[in-house]
Structure 1
Amino acid sequence: MRFDLIDLRLFLNTVESGSITGGAQRTHLTLASSSARIRGMEASLGVPLLDRNRRGVEPTAAGRTLAHHAQVVLQQMEQMRGDLSEYGRGMKGYVRLRSTTSAMTEILPEVLSAFLAAHPEVDIDLEELVSYEIVEAVAQARADVGIINDSVDASGLEVFPFRHDRLVLVTARDHPLAARREVAFADTLSEGFVGLTGDAALHAYLAGHAARAGQRLTYRVRLRGFDAVCRMVERNVGIGVIPERAAARLQRSMAIRRVRLTDAWATRLLRICVRRLDDLPIYARQLIEHLRAQ
């Protein structure tokens, strides 16, 4: 049995994405090469590692065992890489960072660009997830660092404060709600909404609070990105809820109004979470120090 690190990372990426195509893309390999590598792993072990079906792939019992050991091996390699980077140049570090929608779109681009410019030896794999998914990914070592909101239980993880994040209502300038200074989220749910696509973390967050109010969000249209949402809002297609940072930025160029939400959950504390800070390689700890300093 001879598996190299690319094999292990490919297999782990395939399991996490649920498809060989997704695994190939994450590992920066062609689909043909990825399929051949996985078949080679199965032939070497003499057992199937994946159950293949129309919806993608799922690990077999042997595949789950391999995925567990692959996580351990790859994490140890990253720790070794980080420790040795203090003594030599040219070694690349790799940090798996998972984030909520608002932090990913409105905070991290500027913060991460500064870090990456100062650390050309580090690469970051950034993915958007819902907060509870981020907690699971970090706890199961499928991610190194997570940025979550304070509504999710992160017991068992080490957590550090990051930024405050306020959600606001955005409307067209002539919408009836535009004249109000503040409004409760429940009082807006009779309106048609413009929102993010269904896989966005913020969509799931708002849908959950609507359900707690005994109602549901009705979407006129869903789009990718706060800019696109506000362009539809500007044309009175519907109203939206987005981070105040995004609303303030877009209000300078669009005919929209922002209205404060009175709900306590609309003001969130974004937090950084890790399994154990001391177990992370040095460049991952440097990233966390950079995030906390902003």
Structure 2
Amino acid sequence: MTKHSKKTNIGIRHFRAALALAQEQSFTRAADSLGIVPSALTETIKQLEADCGLRLFNREARPVTPTEAGEEFLAGARRVLSDFEMALDDLRRVGGIERGAVRVAAAPSVVLFHLAPALRAFHAAHPAIEVTVYDDIAERIGALVLDRVVDFGLAERWHETDQLDYEPFHVDPFVLVCHRDHKLAGRAEVDLAEIPVADVIALDESTGIGKRIAAAPEIPPEFRRGSIRTRGTIAQLTLISQGMGVALMPKLAASVIQSPEIRHVGLRDLSLKRTLCILTRSRRGLSPAAERLLACLRPLGSLASP
């Protein structure tokens, strides 16, 4: 068995070289993209392979392709290079956080009730920091965090992976949402059995809310089917505002469309809630700018420390 010393001359330039070769599939094109001669690129790849004791590319193939071991290495190399570039960004911001940037992903209801007021306070203190907001469903928000597209996300727990950390932030109870002229609109609370099944507008299970409803044993199966089915709560709320049915959804989500035509009614025999979380990558620190935005955000959640 070959023993590898902890001392190595392998560095970021070797990772960049391997990723460029995988991208261009040609030593000549990859070298050109890196601004070096092909012989220098060849030597860099040889050094990398010698250090790890594995062949990472099939040189005889046209175009040049990674080996199975190479594919595994490249996946890790992309993460390392991304973390390296993020660390450089953080370092460049030290002593000058006003030049920073933050990217955050959140569901529309969280943007309205939590992120917007947090951003108002954040921009008052740091007006020059650029903030990019992505609004999406829980599944894609988790993916945006995992893929390092955003610094952090605000959504339900969807991905069961040790690559994400979930910090509970806000508990959001489910309510009945109906038109103001619906027979149940004037009630403070109702039982599930009082809701006409024929009126229910169902939500597709591809969403975090739809998935939670489908997993709730106390909700009748008929509520999950519905004669009308949507793939998002905005469509549900729009239809409800036109008097076309009712729906079960979290109170925050039900409040995104603030229409005088829509009413929220408590559910006496349903304790279903969703817990919104702050999603970050495990074992990865946030930039100073992202940390300061979170400092403005955390006090706005229902689970904030007293």
Q: 1:142 deviation in Å? A: 6.6
Q: Report the CA distance shift for 1:127/1:168 in structure 2 as closer, same or farther (over 3 A).
A: same
Q: Deviations over 1:204-254 (max 9, x none)?
A: 33344379754533251537563x533421332111234424545756x43
Amino acid across the alignment from 1:282: P
Q: 1:292 deviation in Å? A: 0.9
RMSD: 4.4
Give the 3-state SS of the residue equivalent to 2:173 in structure 1: strand
- Alpha-carbon distance between aligned partners in 2 of 1:156 and 1:3, rounded to the nearest angstrom: 22
Percent identity over paired residues = 23
Matches within 5 A, 1:88-127: 88=96, 91-95=99-103, 97-100=104-107, 102-104=109-111, 106-112=113-119, 114-115=121-122, 118-124=126-132, 126-127=134-135
* Residue range with higher mean Cα deviation, 80-89 or 201-210: 201-210
Looking at secondary structure, tell me which structure has more strand per residue. 1
Q: 1:272 deviation in Å? A: 1.6
Any conservation in 2 of the 1:129–1:201 contact (CA below 8 Å)? yes
| Structure 1 match to 2:180 | 173
| Structure 1 match to 2:197 | 190
Q: Report the CA distance shift for 1:161/1:282 in structure 2 as closer, same or farther (over 3 A).
A: same
Which of 272, 279, 288 is the matching residue for 1:282? 288
| Structure 2 match to 1:42 | 25
- Alpha-carbon distance between aligned partners in 2 of 1:213 and 1:170, rounded to the nearest angstrom: 17
- Alpha-carbon distance between aligned partners in 1 of 2:22 and 2:146, rounded to the nearest angstrom: 30
| Structure 2 match to 1:72 | 80
What is the number of equivalent residue pairs in this alignment? 250
Q: Deviations over 1:86-124 (max 9, x none)?
A: 2347854343x3434532454334434553563533443
Q: 1:264 deviation in Å? A: 2.0
Give the 3-state SS of the residue equivalent to 2:171 in structure 1: strand
- Alpha-carbon distance between aligned partners in 2 of 1:4 and 1:127, rounded to the nearest angstrom: 32
- Alpha-carbon distance between aligned partners in 2 of 1:187 and 1:126, rounded to the nearest angstrom: 38
Which of 222, 228, 251 is the matching residue for 2:230? 222
Any conservation in 1 of the 2:15–2:81 contact (CA below 8 Å)? no
| Structure 2 match to 1:201 | 208
Any conservation in 2 of the 1:169–1:239 contact (CA below 8 Å)? yes
Q: Report the CA distance shift for 1:136/1:284 in structure 2 as closer, same or farther (over 3 A).
A: same
Any conservation in 2 of the 1:184–1:261 contact (CA below 8 Å)? yes
Q: TM-score, normalised by structure 1?
A: 0.62
Q: TM-score, normalised by structure 2?
A: 0.60
| Structure 1 match to 2:34 | none
| Structure 2 match to 1:260 | 266
| Structure 1 match to 2:47 | none
Give the 3-state SS of the residue equivalent to 2:197 in structure 1: coil
Any conservation in 1 of the 2:154–2:277 contact (CA below 8 Å)? yes
Which of 81, 89, 104 is the matching residue for 1:81? 89
Any conservation in 2 of the 1:159–1:273 contact (CA below 8 Å)? yes
